């Protein structure tokens, strides 16, 4: 039930891309520098996210990465599932375990399943665009102090 650095790094990278949405490709080196992610590791995560259909990449000079869809259609759920895999038991993760008393086993399985549905719903409520708006709001409120 923990999120590894993949999810953390991946969200940071996508957030970076979201802030450059519509302004052409962003190079992985720039993302790595801005977000403090080891470049070689980031490249791996970017490939994973491209395969998950979250970003598109262009090679060659002036190449780079960009969101495959607009920031308001990419949710935390998309990011975490792409990078961390299935979220909870009940999606194939625990089918290997010995069942035990069937009534109890089925009941626990249902608990995980319902929990997963709730969790995914929760994660689906936050989009990359929400994060961008929050950052803009915050920058705005800081202005009052000047």
| Nearest CB to DNA, comparing residues 43 and 126 | 43
Give me 67's structure tokens.
Answer: 């969101």
CB of 109 to its own copies, least distance (A): 9
| Backbone phi and psi for residue 3, each to the nearest 5 degrees, phi listed first | -100, 125
**Residue numbers 29-68 binding its own copies by CB under 8 A:** 34-37
Residues that bind its own copies (rule: CB under 8 A) add up to a total of 48
Cβ within 8 Å of residue 17, ≥6 positions away: 26, 31, 55, 65, 66, 67
Q: Is 91 in the site for DNA (CB under 7 A)?
A: no
CB of 133 to its own copies, least distance (A): 11
Cβ within 8 Å of residue 63, ≥6 positions away: 25, 27, 57
> From the list 29, 51, 63, 134, which residue makes contact with its own copies (rule: CB under 8 A)?
134
Tell me the β-bridge partners of 58: 64
Q: Is 25 in the site for DNA (CB under 7 A)?
A: yes
Inter-residue contact 54 to 115 (CB < 8 Å): no
With CB under 7 A as the contact rule, which of the stretches 15-23, 32-40, 111-119, 124-132 interacts with DNA? 32-40
Interface residues with DNA (CB under 7 A) are: 4-6, 25-29, 38-41, 43-44, 46-47, 50, 57-65, 84, 97
């Amino acid at each position: 039930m923990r999120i590894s650095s993949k999810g953390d790094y991946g969200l940071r990278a996508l957030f970076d891309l979201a802030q450059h949405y519509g302004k052409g490709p962003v190079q992985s080196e720039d993302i790595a520098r801005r977000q403090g992610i080891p470049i070689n590791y980031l490249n791996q995560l970017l490939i994973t996210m491209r395969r998950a259909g979250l970003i598109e990449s262009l090679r060659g000079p002036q190449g780079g990465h960009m969101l495959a869809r607009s920031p308001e259609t990419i949710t935390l759920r998309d990011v975490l599932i792409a990078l961390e895999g299935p979220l909870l038991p009940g999606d194939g993760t625990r089918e290997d375990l010995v069942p035990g008393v069937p009534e109890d086993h089925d009941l626990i399985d249902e608990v995980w399943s319902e929990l997963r549905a709730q969790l995914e719903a929760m994660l689906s409520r936050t989009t990359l665009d929400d994060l961008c708006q929050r950052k803009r709001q915050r920058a705005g409120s800081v202005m009052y102090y000047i």
